[in-house]
Amino acid sequence: MLTKQKRFRYLLLFLCLPILAFIFPSWTPRIRDESRALLPNSVSTLEQIELGGIKQSVLIRGNDQRNPILLFLHGGPGYSQIAYARQYQRDLEKDFIVVNWDQRGSGKSYHWNLTHGDLHIGNLVEDTLELTKYLEHKFNQSKIFIVGHSWGSMLATWTVQQYPEHFYAYIGIGQVADAPFGEHLSYQFALDEAIKRNNAEAIKELESIGPPPYKHYSKVTRLEQKWITDFGGAERNSHTQKELIKGIFLAPEYTWTDGIRMAFGSRLSKNAILPQIQYSNFFKTVPTLSIPVYLCMGRYDYITPSEDAYNYYEKLDAPEKLFIWFEESAHFPHFEEMEKFHTLMITIKEQTLGASH
């Protein structure tokens, strides 16, 4: 039987744990070999650096600091990866310095005083360039590899278009090209599936918003994407939403306060950025890129439909380009088929830099 003093201690611990979860500093584990010894030339840092005058969080991990840099630009907007991406990227860490960045206004990089004006696309492009230069200087490298996922594919495309001299190659995942056409395909998929499945609730909600273009874009697309997700057009073999929530509560890289910031940041980012990209069309504005381009698309992706990406790939003028189908994936092929993505990245690295790296 517990004494009164022990009961008091347990009660105090129970009350203190939530407080510690909010205030305990975030960190990332060191990288170790199979015998649990620290890898001597590895890097594992969770940093807060200033980009565009705003403090932003960057997770940097890799087994060897001599490896090339692989920068991921997350989607959303506002769907930051730091809380959960590490579990999907352990193999990549063996061959690259893997960098995940919570973009301004997202996750750990959300600040209460940010406005819609702070999230102008031009600011985010310049942040990406500034971060790239920071990484080049930090690891004494002249260029990096850049990966853009979903909304991040747009940010990466604009950055590569303006500053190609900083990048070996661009890897697009869930590539957006003609945003209005892609939105049309997304809506039609959701409605067709609702009818096929005789889902009365989905039919009613989708018919109530009607096909795009949408007046209240960010609000309506959330409803549309809910049904796309339910019908398998977002994920097939991964569960990023669950992993994100678990990461906010359990991952050392995130505190519970960061989780709150992420919720507010996601709302701000969507409301500020989606209206800016609603009518984007890379067929017209980015017909040419001057570095190698690799597009990775899930066969079942209807968040950013693969048909749109493939049409863009066929028209795009680039010194080298490759379209890779991920047959078991939807919108997250780099997470749903990790081994295939890792193998692809090794091939790209060797073709670009040589087998010695």
**What are the tokens at 36?**
């649990």
192 among known catalytic residues: no
Using DSSP's 3-state secondary structure scheme, residue 289 falls into coil
Q: Residue 198 burial by CB count (10 A; 0-12/13-18/19+): exposed, middle or buried?
A: exposed
CA 139 – CA 133 distance, rounded (Å):
10
Which residue is catalytic, options 26, 44, 106, 150? Answer: 150
150 among known catalytic residues: yes
CA 290 – CA 303 distance, rounded (Å):
27
Which residue is catalytic, options 74, 331, 334, 342? Answer: 331
CA 189 – CA 143 distance, rounded (Å):
40
Using DSSP's 3-state secondary structure scheme, residue 37 falls into coil
CA 150 – CA 181 distance, rounded (Å):
15
CB 21 within 8 Å of CB 257 = no
CA 350 – CA 357 distance, rounded (Å):
7
CB 107 within 8 Å of CB 57 = yes
CA 25 – CA 48 distance, rounded (Å):
12
218 among known catalytic residues: no
Largest CA distance in the chain: 76
DSSP string, 144-176: EEEEEETHHHHHHHHHHHH-GGGEEEEEEES--
Which residue is catalytic, options 301, 306, 329, 334? Answer: 301
Helix (H) or strand (E) holding 352: helix 338-353
* Residue 295: count of CB within 10 angstroms of its CB: 23
Token match 């991990």: residue?
61
Evaluate the CA torsion angle 276, 149, 86, 128 in order and state its sign.
Answer: negative
* Angle, helices 4-23/256-277, rounded to nearest 10 degrees: 30
- Give me the residues paired with residue 326 across strands: 298
Active-site residue numbers? 150, 301, 331
